[in-house]
């Protein structure tokens, strides 16, 4: 066997190992979080945003699910709104579920639409608390850092007055642009269906401002996918399971780092042979 031949085999082997075993689906990192609730049709509610079972469910003015995913966003004269049930809820003292508009550096929407992520908060006020969120929306307005804009009613408003239009109320009940309502009492002014998620911000979430978090992709819990109707085709390839009652943390997740070491070693050998 000639040296170049062996080199080619090793090279192909290392490419195989690095691409197959350190797959992009297991993305993780650090992120900042913000808040939003604009009542607009979520960005992941359009067809073909990613390979998924269906786009994120949208609703009409009366909060009934829309079957037409071509319906335009209410933030641009259309009939499609964010569904009220895509708001956060408490599982227990250290865990909540919810939805988010996200941005992951170096990627575009098809990478995250309907993917689920575990956020382990790292800032003082939320230490030891985690959230499992499904990406229902996209946060392209800041692209320098990983960001999860957590969907919470009354958490933030924008210049689109879609919430006022959806519920036939003054836009001011949703608070001020950039920060939303200012106290838990103000949540009582929101439409009934949105009050629980508004109060969540002031109790479980401790009204934290821009809390930071470590994030990693996890397989989506059915509690989230049954609300959006959306599951990604690549969800089965994700190594990490979200925290649940069961003791399933870490076993499969350990495969990737170890494999990437093997991949790197093969790469180095191939490199040496290339000299």
Q: Which is nearer to ligand NAG, 61 or 160 (CB)?
A: 160
- Considering only 64, 92, 144, 159, the residue that binds ligand NAG (CB under 6 A) is 92
- Considering only 36, 117, 200, 204, the residue that binds ligand NAG (CB under 6 A) is 36
Contact 56, 220 (CB under 8 A): no
Cβ neighbours around 21 below 10 Å, total: 17
- The reply on whether position 35 binds ligand NAG by CB under 6 A is yes
**Piece of 7-15, 20-28, 76-84, 240-248 that binds ligand NAG (CB under 6 A):** 240-248
Cβ neighbours around 217 below 10 Å, total: 26
- Considering only 21, 25, 95, 273, the residue that binds ligand NAG (CB under 6 A) is 95
* Residues forming beta bridges with residue 102, ordered by sequence position: 138, 148
- The reply on whether position 34 binds ligand NAG by CB under 6 A is yes
Catalytic-labelled residue, pool 38, 93, 185, 233:
38
Question: Taking CB positions, which residue lies at the least distance from ligand NAG?
Answer: 34
Positions of E strands within the chain: 28-36, 58-59, 81-82, 89-92, 95-103, 116-121, 130-138, 147-151, 212-218
**How much of the chain is helix, strand and coil, in % rounded to 5?**
35, 25, 40
- The reply on whether position 245 binds ligand NAG by CB under 6 A is yes
* Number of alpha carbons in the 13 Å side-chain half-sphere of residue 180: 28
**Piece of 8-16, 71-79, 90-98, 222-230 that binds ligand NAG (CB under 6 A):** 90-98
Q: Which is nearer to ligand NAG, 209 or 272 (CB)?
A: 209
Q: Which residue, 136, 130, 96, is CA-closest to 116?
A: 136
Q: Which of residues 4-33 bind ligand NAG (CB under 6 A)?
A: none
| Alpha-carbon gap, residue 125 to 207, rounded angstroms | 9
- Considering only 91, 184, 196, 253, the residue that binds ligand NAG (CB under 6 A) is 91
- The reply on whether position 243 binds ligand NAG by CB under 6 A is yes
Q: Which of residues 107-136 bind ligand NAG (CB under 6 A)?
A: 127-128
Query: Is-catalytic flag, 38?
Result: yes
Tell me the per-residue interface mask from 140 to 179 with ligand NAG, x by CB under 6 A, - otherwise: -x--------------x---------------------xx
Angle between helices 3-21 and 255-274 (to 10 degrees): 160
Q: Which residue, 192, 186, 132, is CA-closest to 154?
A: 186
Q: Which residue, 140, 98, 130, 134, is CA-closest to 116?
A: 134
Catalytic annotation, residues: 38
Please report, as ranges, the residues that interact with ligand NAG according to CB under 6 A.
34-36, 91-95, 127-128, 141, 156, 178-179, 209, 243-245
């Amino acid at each position: 066997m000639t040296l170049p031949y062996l080199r080619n085999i090793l090279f192909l082997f290392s490419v195989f190992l690095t691409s197959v075993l350190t797959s992009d689906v297991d993305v993780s990192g650090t992120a900042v979080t913000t808040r939003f609730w604009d009542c607009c049709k979520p960005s992941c509610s359009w067809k073909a945003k990613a390979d998924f079972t269906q786009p994120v469910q949208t609703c009409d003015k009366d909060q009934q699910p829309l079957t037409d995913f071509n319906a335009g966003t209410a933030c641009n004269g259309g009939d499609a709104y964010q569904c009220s049930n895509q708001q956060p809820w408490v599982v227990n003292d250290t865990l909540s579920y919810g939805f988010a508009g996200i941005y992951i550096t170096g990627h575009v929407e098809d990478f995250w639409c309907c993917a689920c992520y575990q956020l382990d908060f790292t800032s003082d006020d939320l230490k030891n608390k985690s959230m499992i969120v499904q990406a229902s929306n996209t946060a392209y307005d800041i692209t320098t850092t990983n960001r999860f804009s957590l969907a919470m009613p009354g958490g933030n408003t924008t210049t689109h007055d879609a919430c006022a239009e959806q519920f036939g109320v003054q836009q001011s009940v949703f608070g001020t642009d950039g920060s939303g309502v200012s106290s838990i009492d103000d949540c009582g002014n929101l439409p009934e269906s949105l009050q629980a998620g508004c109060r969540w911000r002031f109790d479980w979430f401790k009204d934290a401002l821009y809390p930071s978090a470590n994030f990693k992709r996890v397989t989506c819990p059915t509690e989230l996918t049954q609300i959006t109707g959306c599951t990604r085709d690549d969800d089965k390839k994700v190594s990490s399971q979200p925290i649940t009652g069961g003791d399933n943390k870490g076993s499969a997740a350990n495969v990737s780092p170890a494999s990437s070491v093997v991949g790197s070693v093969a790469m180095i050998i191939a490199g040496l042979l290339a000299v």
